[in-house]
């Protein structure tokens, strides 16, 4: 007896493979709502949008205010020739200590500008940014990514503060305890059980370090900048987006959007903001920096940035700076290199923005 068309369709449907979670997440990413993309054209519209978007972002992040009472605990100091490298801990009741290096030039000068220098996923965390290169492994990491930009900035006369994020460096412990799993993903999942977000904790620590910098005797608190590579670039974006004290931001190796990243099997819990793609993404967070100067460093051989997404992301950012009549304050240093700090346009920008 021949089978009916309805029977054949039902049979085909019953034998079709179930959709995987990977396929479903890719579909969700493709259809991400991004409901709060900037559509304005005037300064007032830009300010109103920034207030609305930041309120939504703050609600997703949860509290990131620094402790009202805290102290810095000196641990060690090293004479590095032209500057002193201070090793210290930021400490407050009911908070984890934050390890920080503070690099202070030795020459006498009036109040100096300060730079918050943030690290990425390197094995040695803020040690590399501070220029600690006393082993072949440390030297290799610094050389491969031009990673000692904190030291480079101190040699240019800035007071530099570089904190250690979670879960990196000394705050990670033994990497082998994670048995090959991504410490960012594991830490994010564990913190969620206590209602905490890893990115928010690191943002608080960045802002706490910024306060340390702003209150230092050698620093002019009206002349503060922020720089970082990779995850450090992402956290530079976050810190500058939520803190108006940061007058200039250099975001290196982080001009990618999470809508694109999550289409792969993305696991960096240190960059996840729950619910973000419902209302925006990296371009919208970056637009909170407008109209202040913001430079993106993009290595043309950087495999971590998908080239087809770079210009569309910039196209979503540019209207915010244009609305403030400051289109020249959003710039891109596209250089012939891989995933590394460049500095070629960054150093002149920092100098011109943070001059007395």
At the top level of CATH, which class does the domain 20-353 belong to?
alpha beta
Per-position DSSP letters for 278-322, written without gaps between them: GT--HHHHHHTTTTS-EEEEEETT-TTS-HHHHHHHHHHHHHHHH
Average pLDDT, the chain: 94
* pLDDT classification of 267: cutoffs 50, 70, 90: confident
pLDDT of the residue at 1: 45
CB 295 within 8 A of CB 333: yes
Q: Beta-carbon neighbour count of residue 178 at 10 Å?
A: 16
**Nearest residue to 250 (alpha-carbon basis) of 348, 156, 163, 104:** 348
* pLDDT classification of 178: cutoffs 50, 70, 90: very high
Q: Alpha-carbon torsion 319, 48, 245, 257, what sign?
A: negative
pLDDT value at 193 more than 60:
yes
CB 227 within 8 A of CB 249: yes
pLDDT of the residue at 12: 46
Please tell me what DSSP assigns to residue 65. Answer: P
Spatial separation of the C-alpha atoms in residues 225 and 114, rounded to whole Å: 6
pLDDT of the residue at 6: 53
3-class SS of residue 264: coil
pLDDT value at 3 more than 70:
no
Mean pLDDT of 236-264: 97
Spatial separation of the C-alpha atoms in residues 277 and 257, rounded to whole Å: 10
Q: How far apart are the first and last CA of the chain?
A: 91
pLDDT of the residue at 16: 61
pLDDT of the residue at 266: 86
pLDDT value at 13 more than 50:
no
Mean pLDDT of 316-333: 98
**Nearest residue to 145 (alpha-carbon basis) of 213, 233, 211, 207:** 233
Spatial separation of the C-alpha atoms in residues 22 and 31, rounded to whole Å: 14
Mean pLDDT of 309-329: 98
Burial class (CB in 10 A: 0-12, 13-18, 19+), 186: middle
Spans of all domains in the chain: 20-353
Mean pLDDT of 175-192: 94
pLDDT value at 8 more than 80:
no
* pLDDT classification of 284: cutoffs 50, 70, 90: very high
The region of weakest confidence among 39-43, 74-78, 117-121, 176-180 is 176-180
pLDDT value at 2 more than 80:
no
More confident residue, 99 or 18: 99
Spatial separation of the C-alpha atoms in residues 287 and 261, rounded to whole Å: 19
* Buried/exposed code over 306-323 (b: 16+ C-beta within 10 A; e: otherwise): beebbeebbebbbbbbbb
Mean pLDDT of 176-180: 91
pLDDT value at 18 more than 90:
no
- Furthest-apart CA pair in the chain: how many Å? 98
pLDDT of the residue at 109: 86
* pLDDT classification of 262: cutoffs 50, 70, 90: very high
pLDDT value at 4 more than 60:
no
pLDDT value at 10 more than 50:
no
pLDDT tens, residue by residue, 127-154: 999 999 999 999 999 999 999 999 999 9
pLDDT of the residue at 11: 47
């Amino acid at each position: 007896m021949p089978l009916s068309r309805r029977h054949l369709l039902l049979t085909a449907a019953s034998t079709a493979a179930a959709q995987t979670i990977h396929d479903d997440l890719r579909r969700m990413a493709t259809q991400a709502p991004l409901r709060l993309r900037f559509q304005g054209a005037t300064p007032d519209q830009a300010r109103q949008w920034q207030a609305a978007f930041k309120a939504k972002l703050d609600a997703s992040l949860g509290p990131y205010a620094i402790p009202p009472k805290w102290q810095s605990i000196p641990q060690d100091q090293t004479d590095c020739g032209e500057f002193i490298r201070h090793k210290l801990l930021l400490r407050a009741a009911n908070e984890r200590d934050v390890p920080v290096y503070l690099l202070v030039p030795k020459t006498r000068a009036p109040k100096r500008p300060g730079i918050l220098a943030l690290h990425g996923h390197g094995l040695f965390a803020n040690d590399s940014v501070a220029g600690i290169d006393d082993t072949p492994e440390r030297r290799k990491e610094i050389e491969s990514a031009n990673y000692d930009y904190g030291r480079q900035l101190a040699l240019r006369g800035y007071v530099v503060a570089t904190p250690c994020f979670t879960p990196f460096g000394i705050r990670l412990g033994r990497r082998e305890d994670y048995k090959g799993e991504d410490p960012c993903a594991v830490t994010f999942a564990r913190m969620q059980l206590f209602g905490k977000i890893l990115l928010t904790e690191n943002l608080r620590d960045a802002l706490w370090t910024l306060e340390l910098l702003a209150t230092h005797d050698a620093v002019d608190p009206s002349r503060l900048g922020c720089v970082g590579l990779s995850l450090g670039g992402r956290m530079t974006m976050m810190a500058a987006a939520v803190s108006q004290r940061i007058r200039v931001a250099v975001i290196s190796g982080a001009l990618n959007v999470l809508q694109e990243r999550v289409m792969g099997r993305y696991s960096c819990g240190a960059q996840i903001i729950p619910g973000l793609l419902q209302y925006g993404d990296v371009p919208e967070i970056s637009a909170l920096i407008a109209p202040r100067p913001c430079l993106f460093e993009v290595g043309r051989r950087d495999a971590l940035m998908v080239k087809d997404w770079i210009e569309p992301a910039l196209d979503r950012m540019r209207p915010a700076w244009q609305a403030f009549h400051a289109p020249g304050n959003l710039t891109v240093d596209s250089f012939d290199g891989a995933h590394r700090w460049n500095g070629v346009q960054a150093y002149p920008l920092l100098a011109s923005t943070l001059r007395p």
